[in-house]
């Protein structure tokens, strides 16, 4: 360091001054901050406006749409009511079944789905695939499938495949009263028979429930009960007795087959109530498989077909003539030795008769004698009685297609028409009309309606047509038809007085006049003097024989005997029976003069209740009662009042329920 001298400063190194910053005219930072703030304010305001628009302004509309998407109404149909017989036995019922449908838009593997469904439903794969490929939201694949198929489809858990509950109509007795019952369609709606006429009562009601579903449309749960029993249809109880119906159909089938007839019908009526206990028709009809029959085979001919009933009309002519005082039971008529020419028409009898009293005119069924009685009575009076008895009008029963019959006004009748109508030709009637007319005679001359619905409170008109004395006189004449040497001897039942009338009517030809076809019939009353039952059998167009006494009377006898044995009213006429009764026999107070005995078997014990009893040589009634104690109604074959053979053999253990048929073969002697 040199003191006293100034320090040198280098010239080439200048001292740098701080540079002044360049100032713009705008502050862009603040602008950007303000822009961002304004943008977010607008977005925030827009969101609030949108929220207000969605939640406040259009909120109810969107809420309704959400409800429709996730809470859908579901229609539930109640079960169809059952049809029962008078004892509560089921004749028709509905059972739950499954139907399968698909939602094609939900499927993931169409080929696999089609294969599984086709295998389970036993359908062609191509048919299932065609249904699946229909681009619909909902497509039925099969309705009312079997339980096995439903389980297979459920276990497969196929996407887009669903099962729904339907109801199938089942007729557990198959063809029993098939045409009368009718049938229902796929949607459980009545199409024929009582299923149609009683559809309003039988049909279940529809009810809507709210069902919550997920986004795919699958049900989550049901708000409320799954099913409300109150929406189910009501049951219909008939006056039919299923067991008597079975007896009638079996005997009728045997008659139709034996004589190679085209059709047969039978009606059984309880006189006291007018209840129809049996309504049988052959050939049979199974409503479970109604689509296997042609529509013409669905026809309920008992109600829909009007036939010329032949000589079964004669009791009404005689009753009318007695009531009008034109004849007495002893009035004599000359029967022209079996041949009579009236104008240009020849009237014939099967036998040559000369003078016959009115009682024998009916007993021997003389057409000539009856025609002369008709001419004495007159067309106007006869027509009046026929119409008052119900001919020419419907009976009012709840059946579809009931015919009016054909009955021309009396002012259009010539003498020949009156003579023909006297013995049941020239006008036609249904079996129902004929049964209703006989019910009047059996009811002491008072007309009363037939009944088919047991719970019906409707009552038709009652009117006295014949006096009680006239009705009793005609019933006595009808007894002689069966019990004496009349045309109905084949209908006799030992121990019971039977009244009846045979009928053989020549059928009209489509070409005009009468052809070579016949209708044979028999109407019987049990017992004769104070009838409790009316039983009518008609066999149409038989080939081997056409007389009602041959083809219809034996069927009547078989039905009557089996029905009375079942009801416990068949007399026990077996003198050698060792059957021990509890208490004194009870006489039938309703049928004076009839040797019917009813025994109380409620406390009667068989020798060995653990094994099949020996009923050989016993009366039919005793045998039926013995089996009935085990809840069994045996099958009866042959004619007669005594058992000659049985199956299973006596002494064998009772077979398990439903594994064995119990058969009794009958004979006339013990």
Residue positions annotated with a catalytic role: 311
* Of the candidates 552, 568, 550, 493, the residue with the CA atom closest to the CA atom of residue 527: 493
CA distance 284 to 246: 12
Contact 271, 435 (CB under 8 A): no
Using CB atoms within 10 A of its CB, is residue 124 exposed (0-12), middle (13-18) or buried (19+)?
Answer: exposed
Q: Do the bridges between strand 236-237 and strand 83-84 make them parallel or antiparallel, or are there none, so unpaired?
A: parallel
Contact 592, 529 (CB under 8 A): yes
Radius of gyration of the chain (CA): 43
What token pair was written down for 494?
């030992």
CA distance 559 to 65: 68
CA distance 161 to 152: 12
Using CB atoms within 10 A of its CB, is residue 580 exposed (0-12), middle (13-18) or buried (19+)?
Answer: exposed
Contact 375, 327 (CB under 8 A): no
Strand-pairing partners, residue 96, are 167
CA angle 523, 430, 493 (to 5 degrees): 10
* Of the candidates 330, 408, 417, 322, the residue with the CA atom closest to the CA atom of residue 371: 417
Long-range contacts formed by 193-198: CB under 8 A, 24+ apart: 193/287, 193/300, 193/399, 193/400, 194/83, 194/236, 194/238, 194/398, 194/399, 195/83, 195/92, 195/169, 196/400, 197/398, 197/399, 197/400, 198/83, 198/236, 198/398, 198/453
CA distance 25 to 387: 124
């Amino acid at each position: 360091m040199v003191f006293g001298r100034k320090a040198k400063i280098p010239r080439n190194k200048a001292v740098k001054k701080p540079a002044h910053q360049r100032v713009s005219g705008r502050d862009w930072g603040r602008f950007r901050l303000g822009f961002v703030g304004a943008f977010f304010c607008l977005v925030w305001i827009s969101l609030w406006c949108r929220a207000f628009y969605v939640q406040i302004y259009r909120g109810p509309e969107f809420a309704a749409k959400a409800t429709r998407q996730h809470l859908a109404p579901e229609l539930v149909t109640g079960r169809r009511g059952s049809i029962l017989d008078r004892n509560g036995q089921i004749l028709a019922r509905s059972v739950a079944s499954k139907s399968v449908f698909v939602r094609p838009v939900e499927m993931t593997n169409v080929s696999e789905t089609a294969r599984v469904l086709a295998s389970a439903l036993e359908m062609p794969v191509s048919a299932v695939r065609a249904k699946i490929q229909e681009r619909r939201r909902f497509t039925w694949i099969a309705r009312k499938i079997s339980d096995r198929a439903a389980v297979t489809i459920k276990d497969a858990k196929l996407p887009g495949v669903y099962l729904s509950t339907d109801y199938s109509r089942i007729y557990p007795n198959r063809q029993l009263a098939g045409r009368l019952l009718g049938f229902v369609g796929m949607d459980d709606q009545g199409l024929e028979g009582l299923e149609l006429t009683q559809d309003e009562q039988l049909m279940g009601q529809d009810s809507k429930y709210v069902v919550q579903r997920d986004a795919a449309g699958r049900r989550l749960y049901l708000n409320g009960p799954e099913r409300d029993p109150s929406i189910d249809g009501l049951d219909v109880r008939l006056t039919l007795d299923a067991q008597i119906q079975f007896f009638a159909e079996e005997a009728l089938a045997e008659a139709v087959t034996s004589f190679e007839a085209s059709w047969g019908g039978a009606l059984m009526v309880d006189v006291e109530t007018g209840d129809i206990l049996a309504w049988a028709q052959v050939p049979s009809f199974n409503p479970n498989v109604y689509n296997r029959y042609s529509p013409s085979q669905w026809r309920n001919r008992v109600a829909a077909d009007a036939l010329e009933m032949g000589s079964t009309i004669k009791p009404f002519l005689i009753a009318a003539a007695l009531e009008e005082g034109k004849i007495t039971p002893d009035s004599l008529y000359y029967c022209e030795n079996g041949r009579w020419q009236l104008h240009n028409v020849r009237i014939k009898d099967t036998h040559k008769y000369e003078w016959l009293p009115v009682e024998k005119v009916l007993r021997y069924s003389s057409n000539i004698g009856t025609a002369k009685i008709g001419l004495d009575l007159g067309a106007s009076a006869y027509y009046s009685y026929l119409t008052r008895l119900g001919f020419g009008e419907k009976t009012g029963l709840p059946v579809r297609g009931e015919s009016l019959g054909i009955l021309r006004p009396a002012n259009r009748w010539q003498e020949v028409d009156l003579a023909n109508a006297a013995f049941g030709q020239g006008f036609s009637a249904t079996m129902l009309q004929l049964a209703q007319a006989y019910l009047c005679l059996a009811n002491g001359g008072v007309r009363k309606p037939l009944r088919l619905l047991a719970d019906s409170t409707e009552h038709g008109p009652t009117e006295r047509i014949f006096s009680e004395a006239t009705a009793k006189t005609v019933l006595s004449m009808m007894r002689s038809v069966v019990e004496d040497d009349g045309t109905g001897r084949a209908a006799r039942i030992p121990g019971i007085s039977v009244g009846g009338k045979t009928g053989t009517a020549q059928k009209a030809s489509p070409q005009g006049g009468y052809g070579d076809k016949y209708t044979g019939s028999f109407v019987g009353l049990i017992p004769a003097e104070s009838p409790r039952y009316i039983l009518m059998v008609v066999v149409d167009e038989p080939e081997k024989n056409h007389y009602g006494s041959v083809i219809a009377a034996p069927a009547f006898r078989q039905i009557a005997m089996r029905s009375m044995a079942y009801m416990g009213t068949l007399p026990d006429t077996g003198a050698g029976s060792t059957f021990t009764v509890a208490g004194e026999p009870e006489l039938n107070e309703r049928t004076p003069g009839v040797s019917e005995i009813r025994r109380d078997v409620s406390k009667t014990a068989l020798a060995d209740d653990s094994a099949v009893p020996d009923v050989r040589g016993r009366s039919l009634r005793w045998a039926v009662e013995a089996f009935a104690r085990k809840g069994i109604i045996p099958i009866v074959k042959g004619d007669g009042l005594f058992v000659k053979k049985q199956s299973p053999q006596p002494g064998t253990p009772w077979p398990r329920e439903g594994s064995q048929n119990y058969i009794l073969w009958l004979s006339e002697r013990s």
